[in-house]
Amino acid sequence: MAGHTYRKGFEKALVEHLHRDGQLWGVAVDDDGVARLRPATTAFELGSTKLPLIPPKKILLPPREAMWHLPPDGAYREPEIQNDKTVLLGILPCDLYALWYLDRVFAEDSSYLKRRQKLVLVGTMCQPSEQCFCPPHASPPPFDLFLAEGCVWAGSSLGQSCLADLADHLDMSESRPLPAELTAGKSDAAPEDLERLFLESRHRPLWKNEAQRCLSCGACSAVCPTCYCYDVVDSAGLDGGVTRQREWDNCFFRNHALVAGGHNFRPDRAERLRFRFEHKYLGFGEMRGEQSCVGCGRCVSACPVDIDLSSLLNRLCGVIQ
Ligand code: SF4
Ligand code: SF4
């Protein structure tokens, strides 16, 4: 993938160009000091490298949404998804990798796919924080356009067509590869025998000791870009119609694994902490063995009692005691 250096004025021209196609979203720091992803104007400056508190999953998987409605006449309806494009500006590599993971989890989910097809991703390089620990990746994340060090790369046909339209702002005589830091990561990959270490750890005091501090507040999952558990709730109207909704759920909540008959598969916090670790580092089903933690560090920042999955990984692997 070859990138081109751009001239002064390119970033502004790009934002204005993308605005013609859809609603712009960017990360801004509000008065309370919290960075949030929210609708932006053409005045948005692409140089920002802030990680928003709630990641882009909130656009693809809204906290609460109707899945379908069945009116009394039986004419099944799915909700309409807005038709305009949503352009996400200044998305950092860890959030782009997180979207790549969600894309595979929700590959057959019609609501997700409709929104995803309308999403335009403009990525940018990060400045690693003290809390983050992204793993190395074998290939770059998905993006339409990616900007770093005064250079721009197109990762889709939409991105290529944008650059063709803005060719006057580019120096086409030189092409550069994507920055090596994009895939290099800041921490080591999880060890190959993690599955064994994890299974053998069931009765180690590690989980119980750490979970004693856990408040089951769920903040870590809420801010995680690859946590996507949802609950399904049906409600019947007085007219006989039924609406099915889904809403964010959280594996740290006490009733997350409560099933009909009253059995709870994970009644204590140690089991719930271990379950979240399993999801983040080992995955489930067809994606078993794939790490979904992109190392953004949001959970570390959000946890009121400093529980850190990467530290648990190091202890599990014997790197630290
Ligand atoms: S587990 Fe924590 S560090 Fe990993 S992706 Fe989720 S929020 Fe980021
Ligand atoms: S944020 Fe910390 S205290 Fe809250 S559920 Fe997660 S690990 Fe437990």
Question: Higher pLDDT residue, 10 or 46?
Answer: 10
Of 23, 6, 3, nearest to 166 (Cα)?
A: 6
112 sits in the region (left: phi over 0; alpha: psi -120 to 50; else beta) called alpha
Q: Are 82 and 74 in contact (CB under 8 A)?
A: no
| C-alpha 162 – ligand 2 centre gap (Å) | 42
User: pTM, whole model, 2 decimals?
Assistant: 0.94
| C-alpha 213 – ligand 2 centre gap (Å) | 8
The yes-or-no verdict on residue 47 having pLDDT over 80 is: no
pLDDT at 79: 83
Residue in 220, 221, 224, 274 to alter for ligand 2 test, most ligand atoms within 8 A of Cβ = 220
* pLDDT tens-digit readout, 125-161: 998 888 899 999 999 999 999 999 999 999 999 999 9
Of 58, 59, 80, nearest to 69 (Cα)?
A: 80
The yes-or-no verdict on residue 32 having pLDDT over 90 is: yes
Residue in 53, 212, 214, 308 to alter for ligand 2 test, most ligand atoms within 8 A of Cβ = 214
* pLDDT tens-digit readout, 179-211: 999 999 999 888 999 999 999 998 889 999 999
Q: Ligand nearest 211 Cα, by number?
A: 2
User: Does 216 sit in the ligand 2 pocket, CB within 6 Å?
Assistant: yes
The yes-or-no verdict on residue 320 having pLDDT over 70 is: no
Residue in 215, 280, 300, 311 to alter for ligand 2 test, most ligand atoms within 8 A of Cβ = 215
The yes-or-no verdict on residue 319 having pLDDT over 80 is: no
* pLDDT tens-digit readout, 214-230: 999 999 999 999 999 99
pLDDT category of residue 174 using cuts at 50, 70 and 90:
confident
* pLDDT tens-digit readout, 286-306: 999 999 999 999 999 999 999
The yes-or-no verdict on residue 245 having pLDDT over 60 is: yes
**Which residue has its alpha carbon closest to ligand 2 atom 2?**
303
Distance CA 48, CA 24 (A): 15
Token digits for 37? 């992803």
Distance CA 193, CA 196 (A): 5
The yes-or-no verdict on residue 119 having pLDDT over 70 is: yes
**Which residue has its alpha carbon closest to ligand 2 atom 1?**
303
Q: Ligand nearest 217 Cα, by number?
A: 2
* pLDDT tens-digit readout, 73-112: 888 888 888 778 999 999 999 999 999 999 999 999 999 9
User: Quick check: helix, strand or coil at residue 200?
Assistant: helix
pLDDT at 61: 96
Segment 160-172 mean pLDDT: 94
pLDDT at 40: 95
Distances (CA, A) of 76 to 113, 212, 244: 20, 47, 11
DSSP E strand boundaries for 143-256: 145-148, 151-154, 170-176, 230-236, 242-248
DSSP-assigned letters across all residues of 13-65: HHHHHHHTTEEEEEEEE-TTS-EEEEE--TT--TT--PPPSS-THHHHS-SEE
pLDDT at 254: 92
For the beta carbon of residue 291, count every other beta carbon within 10 angstroms. 20
Phi/psi at 27 (nearest 5 deg)? -95, 130
Closest atom of ligand 2 to 215 CA is: 3
Q: Would you list the domain boundaries of the chain?
A: 2-177, 194-316
Token digits for 32? 């309370």
Q: Ligand nearest 293 Cα, by number?
A: 1
* Mean pLDDT, the chain, integer: 93
